Structure 1
Amino acid sequence: MREIAIVGLDCRFPGAADARAYWELLMRSGDAVGRVPADRWDGAEFSAPEGGDGRANTDRGGFIDDPDVFDNEFFTISPREAAAMDPQQRLLLQCSWRALEDAGIAPASLAGSDTGVFVGIMGNEWAHRHLTDYDKITAQVGSGNGYCMTANRISYHLDLKGPSLAVDTACSSSLVAVHLAGNALLSGECDTAIAAGVNVTVSPALNIFYTQAGLSAPDGRCKPFSAQADGIGRGEGVGVVVLRRLEDALADGQQVYAVIRATAVNQDGRSNGLTAPNRWAQQAVLEAAYRRAGVEPAEVVFTEGHGTGTELGDMIETKALGALHATRADKPMALGSVKGNLGHTEGAAGVAGLIKVALSLHNRVVPASRFAVRENPKLNLAAKGIKLIKAPLRLAAGTSVAGLSSFGMGGTNAHAVLASAPPQAVRPATVEAPGTAGGVFTLSATTPEALRRNLLAQAEELDKRRVPLGRLCWTSNRVKTGHRIRFALPAEDISALSAALRAAAEDDDLLTRHANRPTGRPKAAFLFAGQGVQSPGMTMRLYRESAVYRRHLDAADAALRPHLGWSVVELLTAEDQKVHRTGSAQPALFAVGYALARTMEEFGVEPALLLGHSVGEYAAAVVADALTLDEAARLIAARGRLMEALPDGGGMLSVFAPEAEILPLIHDEPLIGVAAVNGPRQTVLSGDLEVLDRVALELGEADLDMRRLTVSHAFHSPLMQPMLAEFAEVARGIAGVPRLPFYSTVRGRLLRPGEPLDADYWTEHVSAAVRFADAAEALLAAGPTHVVEIGPQPVLGGLVRRLRPPAGLRTLHPLPTRESGRPDLGALLAQLYQDGLDPHWDALYGEEQRTLTRLAPYAFSDAHRFWVKPPTRNGRSGLTVTTAEAADGSGGQVDDDHVVRLAPAGRAAFRGRVAEKVAAAVAAVGGYSLDELSLRSRLYEDLGFDSVTLMELKKDLEKALPETGEVSVPELIPVLGSLGELIAFYEARSDVAADAASLA
């Protein structure tokens, strides 16, 4: 049988807020049983006199902390809807998100996929409380209850299209859900499955039932297989596992906790009572699971038993196991049950056991079972080939096999056979190569406070354990994405990263800046630098550290070598000063520019606009598909060679004055000309040295600042004339048209559609002035959000900034210093990610770094609480929001006319009768206080409105603003972008109605 991999998990059980705390509880044999929390039910409903004959015999059980806490804002669920939801739905939503992250999956990335959701659930006590008062039933109360919604709500919020169903087979529900999820994976119905179990005890109903049926332990504790066993103790909790076919998990590099080799489900049929267990059916389900898994009973090292601690249940379970394991007296199978720690978690019991077994196999140790020290002698375990786990059981090296049983009160039995994961799916065997240890650590969040909370959660996790930094960063790039507020930090050291995350969390200004960043994908312009920025050994650190850059520079080198007769890479590696010679500088700069641009593209930084300064246009033309790499290599090699062969005697002079002031001085000088116009007051002259000296004297007399440039020749001057004919011959036949907007520094403008970069253009390019300022100003007018300079060091960014670019334009460089390498490239990607780009992060990391590791899961807000009484809505009582904010009396209350009593902040935000009425209606329908709303609040994205709440809002507004008349849904939908738009719409209708009334 094909195996199923458990690739992710999360849980909340009594005494354990997450999977790590759960494992710690198990390893210390912790007791998570306590008194019933005061907010669960009224004592009048449930009495427990000592030794008396009250409704129930105990007021103890296993209870999770704060089941009322829910981060509704994260899931864009309004307070009113959240208050109506069964807390089991809320717990499952958050737990599923965290389990997916634990699996190395960004939950948002599953949208539209065939991912299945299978939830085991036994109790629906919230619905029993809230669906019996017919006057208080709302649409939200309806959708907030029901078994199906526990699974369907996960599918809805994550936009999952695979099977989605809830399973109730009583105590075996969640293991049956795992069975169905595995079958769906093996049949191809889905490629990823979320299997879960949940149980929240809102009422004492089952306590009373267990007592009346003689099943309840007086101290509220299960004591599995123990001499002390005297009945069931109730527990609650939620657990989620993420399942994949093993071959898929391995192919995707996911870490695997354990594998499920097989599952089996059957039924007791007619036995000695509907709720009584059946030994023969339990034995049959064990046999079926072993057979499907292809294992012999002797291979099973330990079993997580159902283990309720009832005399009959323990007896029958061990007899069924003994029928298969009795021959193992010399090497008995180990048996335990987590119910001794938590109580019987009913619908979540199977997944509680599954997570325990998975963690045991993963950690190579099985925790001791509580109450196992004094085993029940009536069970005669030794004769059955069974021993209780009285101390932690260390698993031997190699593959270990385990069993897991879960039996339903109504007779539906389930068993699973698990095994330890293949070694390569537990811990990667490779190590990170020297010089590639860093990366970019990323997080995303919905609000500044959420970002702060998660920065701290990640920092705390890094302080607890050490993981390879590259893997950590790469995993964060894959998993911690999808939310509006983005954070990215280049990282080269774990300790420094942890400290930086804490510092960022404490920086209110930084958090505010992140929250206020514009949304949308960046529009990047690539500006390619020209000659003069070259240096010996340029970009060689990046060449050593980045396989992507190395590959593209090698490609450029291979294209140039036939025309040069030497290697650009060898020249740069040797840090040869010959790089400053024109014949070397121009091809070397072309190779670097080409390789950097292609590297940026491979990282997902696609240029929308292109501009090249002088020889920078060659690499720009290749990126624009106007030249092939081979054509550009042939041209640039010839250009450099022919220029270097020209006689010496030329020079260049940078003058800090407008071109118009200089032209009269050189009008009659045929041997010099304007070589470049880099800005309004940055003009470069080029030509014969003697003439330049004479012109310099005149410029000095005019009090103009100037600077001699160190060059070998007078580039872009009349002195280039002798090489033009031969160069034109080399360029013959070239006639490419740019695919991207190309801002020509020969023309000083955007090339027109179809305007070619042909042989005439490249020949003119040799001696023509570089009209950078004009071309750059035209480019800036096209509205780029980012300018990325392509070259070995920054030059053009400074020129752009002097052109007074539009506010908010960012100028970036992948190599801001001569010593820059991969970390600086990462910093550029970090900036672009924060500004809305989704980089192709894989290109930043070596293959050995692209391995998933487990990060701290998302830390949800605990600021909002929703418990017991949901909001109600009818003609008499109006609506009450039961959130933490409303509980202190601040806002959110609605009178009989559904009008919110405006808080001061609400009065300031919503001026005028219509605005106040519209805001009040939105607040009432969503369950918000006025100070939580603003004109920018988006009804769908921010406030969680949907088609149901829209209709409710429509009716309320017709009642609150009768003069506006009935508004149709097609009229209303276009103005629901924000609360401000909705208010403006009703204000306009109210004004029209007022005008009509005055005319009448």
Structure 2
Amino acid sequence: MVPGATDAAGYWRILTGGRDLMTEVPASRWLVTDHYDPDPAAPDKTYARRGAFLPEVDFDPLEYGVPPANLAATDTSQLLALMVADQVLTDAGGLSDLDRDRVGVVLGAASLELLPHMYGRSHRPMWLKGLRESGLAEAEAQAVCDRISAQFSPWRESTFPGLLGNVVSGRIANRFDLHGTNHTTDAACASSLAALSTAVGELALRRADLVISGGVDTGNDIGMFLCFSKTPALSRTGDCRPFSDAADGTMLGEAVVMYALKRLSDAERDGDRIHAVIRGIGTSSDGKGTAIYAPLPDGQARALRRAYEEAGYGPRTVELVEAHGTGTKAGDAAELTALRAVFEESGRGAAQPAGSGGQWCAIGSVKSQIGHTKCAAGAAGLLKAVMALHHKVLPPTIKVDRPTPAATDPDGPFYVNTEARPWVRSADHPRRAAVSSFGFGGSNFHVTLEEYVPSGTPARVPPRHRSAPSELVLFSGASVADLVPPESYGDRPLAALARESQGAFSPTDPVRLAVVASDTDDLREKYAQALALIRQRPGTAFSAPNGVRYASGDPAPGRLAFLFPGQGSQYVGMGAGLAMLAPAAQAVWDRLGGATFDGRPLHRLVFPPPAFADEERAAQAARLA
């Protein structure tokens, strides 16, 4: 559950579509008029008024065993975590065939929003002191304090567990009757990768057979904004631009992201759907530094080296890094320094494909789209990398008009990927990606993982998520009254709805309507507009520029033609959309993954790294021509 999406498929569409989920702070979090001041030095105020926020969702307390009377005293993180854990277990095939004694839950979580709210009541002596010193009579001062206290929820028996961070995981173990280890961990912004490290340890030590892990952070209250404002770490211009030369700070986001972890051999034996494989986890501390919150490249590099030592391969084979990438100048600079040190060590003297040279690895950060989700940041980055491997797509990082110089060295290992591109890979090794997460206090984590390649076991590769920017939805019937409205399809994703509508469509029906829609809301709106027009002129065919077409009566038999463009029609990026949507098209490119033209990999001529200057774009077009 991330800003703009409530499932993994929606998250993937956000990633590949390059959507920006930054908005003004909604009134449900805190009031800008109460807490905002553009002056960063203004006491008790924040100079930020934007962020990325989870969508509102319906929560059925009885479905998850939460007494409705306890909702006001239960942290949002605990409730949303139950819903996401339910998604994870469903995706993993349920619990019917699992030994619940060997299923655990380890999550990164902290900074829960209910705690400061409940502590508010304990400040009554300070309110009373101020009122007395202002000259109010005792009775009046007490009455004012009563009115202030009424703004806070009362303490009750369910309040204590309702605000504890560890109950985020505990409530999941309780609801789904899991008997393995159950706890949360706090490593600040590296919490979810710290939890991942512990979860993988449980599996490696064979104390568990399945562990739910991830990160939970719904804390975008005013207290969190003040913490980041007074560091200061938030963007003065109100945006998060990792690895851009215009980066001036981070922005805050919210997310609840989890995944099911098993030993690879067990997953293959059990015929599970495998999304990706973790190969190495490196952890480290910065040790002694200049300040407890200042990132140290040496400490981060230590974690990177340990990850690749455990994985058994070097970073020269890693082609995507989902970086911590907060958008702060000091943080991004330190991270790039560490990454370049380790990746360039790997590149020296290594056998390299013809023409690959430098810039073999895409680097980016999902924080450009959903902000810094704090305790859930590593989990959000890991899920992005897992889906990139599974879909064979290099996802974009947005808001980079010109990259920071440290990420643009033509002889260096990295380039900032600003557009979705097919991830072409020859068969010499699987696609490999890495994820970093670093926390205040010098907590460093780096994870390296690779795509799953079936090897004749019962294990399966899950289907891809549809990520087309729009879908074709068809309606037909004997009369206008027989057209089935979109609402009849329920609350299914647009791609599934489109598939079902195409299966039910009859080209010989007297009434036929086609709608190209970007989402279900867009579909409903266009359908309603089309229906109104049809009822005004029931026998008149029409085609609207917004992607709606209607016809009635006997269909005239048509003829079909294919157009094959000839020489001179080539352009940089041609066929990228098809390769990213159709596995058969991707497979053609992979078969030619080792092919070269004029000393360069063929796919790097057609799908080169993004260019940021007109001369560079012209050179790419000239090479392709």
Q: Secondary structure at the match of 2:180?
A: coil
Distance 1:362 1:310 in 2: 30
Matches within 5 A, 1:335-374: 335-374=363-402
Displacement of 1:347: 0.5
Matches within 5 A, 1:236-635: 236-326=254-344, 328=347, 329-377=357-405, 381-397=409-425, 398=427, 399-423=430-454, 425-427=459-461, 456-457=490-491, 462-464=496-498
Match of 1:173 in 2: 191
Relative to total residues, which structure has the larger helix share, 1 or 2? 1
Q: Does 1:41 align with 2:27?
A: no
Displacement of 1:220: 3.2
Q: Does 1:27 align with 2:16?
A: yes
Displacement of 1:109: 6.0
Q: Does 1:122 align with 2:110?
A: yes
CA contact (8 A) 2:220 2:254 kept: no
What does the per-residue CA deviation read over 1:688-747, in whole Å, with 9 as the maximum and x for residues that have no partner?
A: xxxxxxxxxxxxxxxxxxxxxxxxxxxxxxxxxxxxxxxxxxxxxxxxxxxxxxxxxxxx
The one-letter code of the counterpart of 2:48 is: T
Distance 1:191 1:34 in 2: 41
Distance 2:167 2:432 in 1: 35
CA contact (8 A) 1:80 1:140 kept: no
The one-letter code of the counterpart of 1:151 is: S
CA contact (8 A) 1:228 1:371 kept: no
Aligned partner (choices 100, 107, 113) of residue 89 of structure 2: 100
Distance 1:59 1:458 in 2: 34
Q: For the structure 1 residues 428 and 159, does the alpha-carbon distance in structure 2 shift closer, same or farther, using more than 3 Å as the test?
A: closer
- Runs (5+) with no aligned partner, structure 1: 1-11, 430-452, 467-492, 497-1000
Q: Secondary structure at the match of 1:357?
A: helix
Match of 1:15 in 2: 4
CA contact (8 A) 2:408 2:415 kept: no
Distance 2:495 2:396 in 1: 27
Match of 2:70 in 1: 81
Aligned partner (choices 228, 233, 236) of residue 218 of structure 1: 236
Distance 1:220 1:102 in 2: 37
Q: For the structure 1 residues 393 and 86, does the alpha-carbon distance in structure 2 shift closer, same or farther, using more than 3 Å as the test?
A: same
Matches within 5 A, 1:780-791: none
CA contact (8 A) 1:325 1:333 kept: no
CA contact (8 A) 2:489 2:497 kept: no
CA RMSD of aligned residues (A): 2.6
Q: Secondary structure at the match of 1:160?
A: coil
Match of 1:58 in 2: 48
The one-letter code of the counterpart of 2:384 is: K
Distance 1:151 1:336 in 2: 30
User: Among the aligned pairs, what percent are the same residue?
Assistant: 31
Distance 2:30 2:97 in 1: 40
- Runs (5+) with no aligned partner, structure 2: 123-148, 348-356, 464-486, 506-625
Match of 1:112 in 2: 100
Q: For the structure 1 residues 118 and 211, does the alpha-carbon distance in structure 2 shift closer, same or farther, using more than 3 Å as the test?
A: same
Distance 1:77 1:312 in 2: 44
What does the per-residue CA deviation read over 1:221-271, in whole Å, with 9 as the maximum and x for residues that have no partner?
A: 221111110001001111011111111111111111111111122111221
Displacement of 1:326: 2.4
**Aligned length in residues:** 434
Distance 1:43 1:230 in 2: 21
Displacement of 1:213: 1.6
Match of 2:59 in 1: 70
CA contact (8 A) 1:326 1:386 kept: no
Match of 1:790 in 2: none
The one-letter code of the counterpart of 2:85 is: S
Q: Secondary structure at the match of 1:406?
A: strand
Q: For the structure 1 residues 49 and 366, does the alpha-carbon distance in structure 2 shift closer, same or farther, using more than 3 Å as the test?
A: same
Q: Secondary structure at the match of 2:433?
A: strand
The one-letter code of the counterpart of 1:14 is: P
Matches within 5 A, 1:929-948: none
Q: For the structure 1 residues 405 and 132, does the alpha-carbon distance in structure 2 shift closer, same or farther, using more than 3 Å as the test?
A: same
Distance 1:366 1:379 in 2: 17
What does the per-residue CA deviation read over 1:157-196, in whole Å, with 9 as the maximum and x for residues that have no partner?
A: 1110001010100000001111111111111111011002
The one-letter code of the counterpart of 2:104 is: G
The one-letter code of the counterpart of 2:368 is: G
TM-score, scaled to structure 2: 0.65
What does the per-residue CA deviation read over 1:947-969, in whole Å, with 9 as the maximum and x for residues that have no partner?
A: xxxxxxxxxxxxxxxxxxxxxxx
What does the per-residue CA deviation read over 1:906-943, in whole Å, with 9 as the maximum and x for residues that have no partner?
A: xxxxxxxxxxxxxxxxxxxxxxxxxxxxxxxxxxxxxx
Displacement of 1:337: 0.5
Distance 2:493 2:323 in 1: 38
Q: Does 1:142 align with 2:132?
A: no
The one-letter code of the counterpart of 1:423 is: P
Q: For the structure 1 residues 368 and 276, does the alpha-carbon distance in structure 2 shift closer, same or farther, using more than 3 Å as the test?
A: same
Match of 1:234 in 2: 252
Match of 1:162 in 2: 180
Q: For the structure 1 residues 169 and 302, does the alpha-carbon distance in structure 2 shift closer, same or farther, using more than 3 Å as the test?
A: same
Q: For the structure 1 residues 459 and 217, does the alpha-carbon distance in structure 2 shift closer, same or farther, using more than 3 Å as the test?
A: closer
TM-score, scaled to structure 1: 0.42
Q: Secondary structure at the match of 1:423?
A: coil
Displacement of 1:464: 4.6
Matches within 5 A, 1:830-979: none
Larger Rg: 1
Q: Secondary structure at the match of 2:242?
A: coil
CA contact (8 A) 2:394 2:420 kept: yes
Distance 1:458 1:13 in 2: 18
Q: Does 1:133 align with 2:121?
A: yes
Match of 2:509 in 1: none
